[in-house]
Structure 1
Amino acid sequence: MPPFAGQGMYSGIRDAANLAWKLDLALAGSAPSTILDTYTSERTVHIRHAIAMSVALGRVICVLDPQEAAERDARMIAGKADPAVVLPPADPPVLGAGLLDPAAGAPGWHGTLASQFPVDGGPLDDVAGYGHVLLTRDSAAVDDRPRG
């Protein structure tokens, strides 16, 4: 993993979290061991995104030409270093199909990683906690989900 976006260890933590809850369910007999087969399909798309994002950020950081560096710096200052303004646009960090694969009868349950963004009451992690959270713009989307 290129070092520019700080995703190496963070990706490892997400990988460990992904495997931990699945191993817990499989070892407890609450889920079949085939639950572990979903790991690669869920994580591959996202990790490729993280690598591409890190490489793109490296191209912004590692500018050797003085003129290009001056132009980059002027763009950063003009955009107040807001990543949404000064960095190249990137695709969202989509999670691949896996345990909640629409083709397997779980329509539309996989999505993207959630950003740490402000919500009523403070940062998302402080309000929602650190477990699994389903975020949706459509409250009806939750009504037909199994409760656990």
Structure 2
Amino acid sequence: MTLTLGQKAPQFALPVTGGDKISLEALKGRKAVLYFYPKDDTSGCTLEAKDFQALRDEFTAADTEIIGISPDSLKSHDKFRNKYGLAFPLAADEEKSMLEAYGVWVEKSMYGRKYMGVERTTVLIDREGKVANIWPKVKVPDHAKEVLAAARAL
């Protein structure tokens, strides 16, 4: 599925670190950054997580939740969060249902080998649960700052 600006964001309910669950319904009335990343504790994903963490207070001031989503397990997420002091939740989508609903579970290719994986993507959801912005094929440097600027402008 391809997301379009202004559409109602696809529903989801996933377990997150800390023993909670997160859902689109629970975020209603607040803005949310859903950032989809391939794998815990890899170089690009770590840099991206640290960048969002560094701006967390500013996202909070902009009434915006940050949620990282990958197909890793909660156990993996807990280790990743603890290692880097991440204070925002990481959602585990081991079944890949949300990844597929948001169109980020795609065929990738490395060294001529094709495989399925997460395309690094960020989606900004507005207070009504609609897609306000989409960043496909994210390049990590300065990405979190760009997302923060968009969240503030909402």
Shorter-chain TM-score bucket reads 0.3 to 0.5
Q: With the length of structure 2 as denominator, give the TM-score of the two structures.
A: 0.32
What TM-score does the superposition give when structure 1 sets the normalisation length?
0.32
Higher helix share: 1
Higher relative contact order (CA 8 A, sep 6+): 2
Of Structure 1 and Structure 2, the greater strand share is in: 2
